Amino acid sequence: MIYALVDKETLLSKRVSLPALLHHIRSLNAPMLQYRNKTGSTEEKKTDLFMIRKYYRGILIVNDTIEFIDYADGLHVGQEDMRLYGEAPHEAIGQIRRQIGSKILGLSTHNKEEVLEANTLDLDYIGLGAYRATGTKKEAKVSGEALLEIAKYSKHPVGIIGGVRLEDAFEEPIVYKVIGSDLYKGLI
């Protein structure tokens, strides 16, 4: 299954409009889309979320921006962002869960230890990566095929993140392949 990652900075750098990308994502039948915008204003993010809802009918996840949970079906947080809600992972995820209720909650993981910790948390899925180096995560540790072994330790559905390409194929227990910048192929 494809989990589309729409990164606003990548959109701008590639000079691709959000509606054009959303049309492309719809043609791929991607049932899940994560919207990430680390630098935009509140108004820009809100406008983008309304546009996504206009052009996209699948599950919409917002990245880190819990204040936009009312416009989305769920929230995805990174390890560092999780710590903004509490020192201990259970405390942090508990606080996030109280704010988002029964909406979807995902967490980025990078290694076996973080996957095992995630197994004890109230999550709906994890992202595991990076699979390859990417332009948006230059500092990420690239684990490649080793991620497929680490994913077997997760009790949650797993999305392989970071540098995943449309042509990549993964076997169970990988449920999602999270496609980011590769979505732009053919659009630029």
Q: Residue 144 gets which letter from DSSP?
A: T
In a 3-state reduction of DSSP, which class is residue 73? coil
* Model confidence at 83: pLDDT above 70: yes
Model-level pTM? 0.93
Amino acid 44: pLDDT:
97
Domain coverage including residue 99: 2-184
Tokens 């449309």, residue located = 166
User: In this structure, what are the phi and psi dihedrals at residue 176, rounded to the nearest 5 degrees?
Assistant: -120, 145
Residue 130 sits at the vertex; the CA angle it makes with 37 and 35, to the nearest 5 degrees, is 20
Question: Residue 10, Cβ neighbours under 10 Å: how many?
Answer: 19
Band of residue 1 on the pLDDT scale cut at 50, 70, 90: confident
Residue 74, strand partner residues: 61, 104
- Looking at the chain, the whole-number percentage of residues with pLDDT higher than 70 is 94
Give me the mean pLDDT over the 105-109 stretch: 97
Q: For position 154, which CATH number holds?
A: 3.20.20.70
Give how many domains the chain has, as a whole number. Answer: 1
Q: Is 93 helix (H, G, I), strand (E, B) or coil?
A: helix
C-beta neighbour count of 100 within 10 angstroms? 18
- As a whole number, the mean pLDDT across the chain is 91
Rounded distance between C-alpha atoms, residue 90 and residue 117, angstroms: 9
